[in-house]
Amino acid sequence: MDIMNAGEDGSPIVLKDKEGLVYQAYKTIFDNLNEEIKKWE
């Protein structure tokens, strides 16, 4: 997961900086989403 199109203006957010706050925030969100999805399977 290097790039996500998630900017308000449609610009890509680059998530290559694994120590960056944006990467950490997305990782937390997606980890939580994946856990929720597993519960429904």
- What is the model's pLDDT at position 14? 61
Number of DSSP helices (H) and strands (E) in the chain, helices first: 1, 2
From residue 3, alpha-carbon distances to 31, 36, 39, 40, 41 in Å are 17, 23, 27, 27, 27
- Between the two ends of the chain, the Cα-to-Cα distance in Å is 23
1-41 per-position pLDDT tens digit: 455 555 556 556 566 666 777 778 888 888 899 899 999 88
pLDDT at 1: 46
Instruction: List the chain domain ranges.
Output: 16-40
Structure-block tokens of residue 25: 């925030």
Q: What is the pTM of this model?
A: 0.46
Contacts of 39 (CB under 8 A, 6+ apart): none
pLDDT of residue 11: 59
Q: Which phi and psi (to 5°) does residue 18 adopt?
A: -70, -15
